[in-house]
Amino acid sequence: MKRIHTVVKGKVQGVFYREFVRREAEGLGVSGYVRNLKDGTVEIVAEGEEKQLREFERKFRKGPLMSFVSEVEMKEEQATGEFEGFDIRFS
């Protein structure tokens, strides 16, 4: 298991980006959460197998139709197994 901690920049709030990320994560069997940050970015913390996370990254870098991802800051962390599914969190 791996864990990624990501901050996504661009037009990613108010365009159903979090819901898109949640659906894609659930479809791939990835656990974790997504939430809007006050600076207009979106945070994604996700755990899964490397292959699942690579496909998940490919999808969230594209985003839904009305979004525009300009930059992705991502780091790998130690997986904790703390998540049971994938949630939208509210700050």
Asked if pLDDT for residue 91 goes beyond 80, the answer is no
Mean pLDDT, residues 19-45 taken together: 98
φ and ψ at residue 29, rounded to 5 degrees: 80, 25
> For the whole model, what pTM was predicted?
0.97
* Amino acid found at 29: G
pLDDT at residue 68 in the model: 97
| Cα torsion 49, 51, 56, 57: sign | positive
Of the listed 3, 18, 22, 54, which one is catalytic? 18
Domains of the chain are 2-75 (3.30.70.100)
23 among known catalytic residues: no
pLDDT, one tens digit per residue, over 37-56 is 999 999 999 999 999 999 99
61 among known catalytic residues: no
